[in-house]
Amino acid sequence: MADPATFYVYILRCADGSLYTGWTTDLDRRVAEHNAGRGAAYTRGRRPVALVYHEPQPDRASAMRREAEIKRRGRRYRERLVRQPGPTP
């Protein structure tokens, strides 16, 4: 059985101040990919990016659902998540 912290939903702050939300199984690797230009197309032209928030999820499906929820709720919600105390780098 997978470790409960194996899957993460994360938020990156891009160089232009925008926020990007995604999910991964390896935060360090994924942030490095984004900064190397091998991440999402959205972040390629907005480097460097910094990890500003993450939260563990029990499985891939949960991570994907939580990512969709965060994106659906918009920027104000993401900004609140980033400011709140909790699981961050």
Q: How far apart are CA 21 and CA 13, in angstroms?
A: 9
Q: Fold for 7-83, please state it.
A: GIY-YIG endonuclease (3.40.1440)
pLDDT at 86: 60
Is residue 3 pLDDT above 60, yes or no?
Answer: no
Confidence of residue 2 (pLDDT cuts 50, 70, 90): very low
pLDDT at 87: 54
Give the pLDDT mean for 55-83: 96
Sheet holding 19-24, edge to edge: 19-24, 7-14, 49-57
Q: What is the DSSP letter of 8?
A: E
Is residue 48 pLDDT above 90, yes or no?
Answer: yes
Domain range summary for the chain, segments of one domain joined by +: 7-83
66 phi, psi to nearest 5 deg? -65, -40
